[in-house]
A and B are shown apart, each in its own frame.
Chain A
């Protein structure tokens, strides 16, 4: 079994208890207009390009023998400034478990652990579940949009130590308008979470004119009751990522 990952980030400080290692899983069922990890949207591997560093030497356009370069029509192994990269790498269980357990000692001292984020990590729950079975006692967390089959969601909540879940918009039509999907499943999954007894945090991104209206925030508040709730300011840095993907 393999999992498709687009980044492993160290010393993440906004993804759960303590300073952590965050694994970003590729692919997401939502298409939020404001997505701050656009490179995680598609499950497909994508070519990324750092335009600012490119000196237009043309070396990457020459034909090469590498199989992994074929789908992109560019050689990935020749850029002097490392402008080209493939977003999305398949890791075997053994590879990722090896990497994560390598952080075991330091994350333990840090009081942190591993967080699976994305994209939507629960789209690859089977893989994550196996990973967790092989971690040596590390604290585990997930950042999910909650748009996932209820059975899987329940399994995930049971297995993980901490769940961070987004509730972006309460109104189902607006949810569809801005994220591409209705939020009925998300609301059902929230109740599963709320009744699970597991520690969790609800997050709402504050997007001007879309999610930050008093009406939306109040309805979410009523819905989630006394759950821990965090309002997250819009990530302005995401723009450069869109440029890299040329979306």
Chain B
């Protein structure tokens, strides 16, 4: 490969995957027999992986490192895992995830520098990594890429001294942290920790702006080399989230030239990684929204926007320091986390609002005299559910992570400065609409409680008129209905109340959120039909959305509803997710108008928002002819994905979201 464009084609067409091999080794058995501690096992596996990795350097590249070993051997046997799970709550895969390393420190100190004050496991990991970098130096020299060889050699001894070195060092550490077995390792505020390197080079005249732009693009491309090896619920769910802009602790906007290059690089590449998040606030200039809208219009499903004016005070209220709150970034999707210090488990569990309604419908409705009484039952049930979720989260344990430890400001697996747990909230619109329907029909004496319960249990099989009325003629969130909106506000408030004074097993607190993650499908299966006319099996909305089948007024009505709740106590994350048809971007000033629309959401006090732009016919055709749509991108819940790589149920949900909106 002689040129960058050849390299780009090579990676985009996934030809690099041929470089990979699998290793066959039963580490878990070996470790078990030897009786190694978890830290010893993590260290040994990392040392092995660094030995097994075969360096590959392309002649034309400026940023090296690519995975060649496909699999990470297990470090515990199945029996050992069972034993661990007897005494501990294990979050997802059990390894550290959804954190943001202290990239500033890493770039400054370099691999050798990170050894200062590190324990013996961390030092061994760093030594193993430095050896691997050494092998890359030899390989780079062999293929004649002397620039890369020189840079890598320097980086084994010291920190980054210029922009290109900083990008290369980031690449090495990000690669290594995945190789260690951590996952959803986020990118954080790239335009902050990289800026000093960039501006120094520009000032010294050793880097031109054009070169910087093309470096950022090549850097972005590197996120797409190994991402298919990174675990997630679906392909694309890999946590490579990057944050741009936002206020610093002195109240200054941080969006800079680098941020612009990032948006441009993303638009040029049209790849799903890294996923872009933009921090905005009441004085964010329109041009930033316009630049973001360019990507939305291209159909990348990002940027996702988070409102500093909501997020920062909410974080401070929860005990994050002023500086840390201003440094917040997003986890894999949209959960707020703090780089360096945050050991929050931002996605530890989820409350199903829809299930709460289902329970109260069956247990309480018949005995309630009015809607207020019923809502008290709902609030009590939310409290019980939250208690039960919290009680289930005891003795949380993560597999130790020696390399990640030195990249953070704390021993990450044991917890750090912040140890809060984030709880998602699914199906809030379904719940609010159900409560509205119950108030109007049951307490409005149109039907009795038992008639409604019977109809719901029967999936409305013999009550078509009631079904029609509930689905299409009863007010819903997103229809400028005061009543439905007040339930939306009340439900989220009750969720925040229920979690407010709880302490978790690590001494941290709980954070209520409006996200759904994959629970929008999982929670659907727990219940049958619901009183809003949703039939059994029909999915709940994604994140903080209106109901899928609601005849919504339109985007302005949705926004009017969704900015109403008090997010200062429900800040964990979870964006309003809006669907637009890709053919609406044509015409004069349309992107500016959309940029103003997103800005209006922020000015009205919305928390987070993301927009999907796809063509329904294209999606349907892609299900039939996947081979023609390799790079068709859609937004799922907090990440963008290639449509054809998703399981059908996730594809169908995206299609349903579109069908109802047009």
Contacts and interface: CB of A to CB of B under 8 A. Distances in A.
Interface of A: 8-11, 13-14, 18-19, 21, 57, 59, 77-80, 82, 99, 102-103, 105-107, 109-112, 230, 237
Interface in B435-471: 460, 464-465, 467-469, 471
5 nearest A-B pairs in the assembled complex, by CB-CB distance: A10-B554, A109-B600, A10-B556, A19-B593, A11-B555
B559 interface: yes
Given A59-B464, A77-B469, A105-B604, A82 B551 contact: yes
16 contacts: A10-B553, A11-B555, A13-B584, A13-B590, A18-B593, A19-B596, A77-B468, A82-B471, A82-B551, A99-B480, A103-B556, A106-B560, A109-B596, A109-B604, A110-B593, A110-B600
Given A9-B554, A102-B480, A105-B604, A14 B587 contact: yes
A221 B465 CA distance: 56
A184 to B, nearest CB: 31
Contacts of A57: 464
Contacts of B469: 77
A67 B86 CA distance: 65
Contacts of A79: 464, 468
A82 B555 contact: no
A78 B555 contact: no
A111 B555 CA distance: 16
Interface string B579-605: 000011001111001101101100110
Contacts of B555: 10-11
A230 B588 CA distance: 10
Contacts of A18: 593, 596
Nearest to A105: B604
A107 to B, nearest CB: 8
A161 B556 CA distance: 22
Contacts of A105: 604
Contact of A13 (B557, B559, B587): B587
Contacts of B257: none
Contacts, number: 71
B465 A77 contact: yes
A37 B471 CA distance: 27
A110 B598 CA distance: 9
B594 A19 contact: yes
Given A106-B560, A109-B600, 20 more contacts: A9-B554, A10-B557, A11-B593, A13-B589, A19-B594, A19-B596, A59-B464, A77-B468, A80-B464, A80-B468, A82-B472, A82-B551, A102-B480, A102-B560, A106-B556, A109-B604, A110-B597, A110-B600, A111-B596, A237-B583
A56 to B, nearest CB: 13
B621 interface: no
B465 A19 contact: no
Contacts of B560: 102, 106
Given A10-B556, A11-B554, A13-B587, A19 B464 contact: no
Contacts of B590: 13-14
B554 A78 contact: no
A15 B584 CA distance: 13
Nearest to A237: B583
Nearest to A79: B468
Contacts of B593: 11, 13, 18-19, 110, 112
A8 B587 contact: no
B615 to A, nearest CB: 11
B556 A11 contact: yes
Contacts of B52: none
Contacts of A102: 480, 560
A233 B600 CA distance: 30
B473 interface: yes
A79 B471 CA distance: 10
Contacts of A103: 556
Contacts of A10: 553-557
Contacts of B557: 10
B127 to A, nearest CB: 57
Which one of A11, A18, A109, A230 has the highest number of Cβ atoms from chain B below 10 Å of its Cβ?
A11
Contacts of A13: 584, 587, 589-590, 593-594
A110 B604 CA distance: 11
Given A10-B553, A109-B599, A82 B468 contact: yes
Contacts of B554: 9-11
Contacts of A11: 554-556, 593, 597
A103 B480 CA distance: 9
Contacts of B596: 18-19, 109-111
Contacts of B471: 80, 82
A138 to B, nearest CB: 13
A78 B472 CA distance: 10
B465 A78 contact: yes
Contacts of B473: 77
A9 B75 CA distance: 58
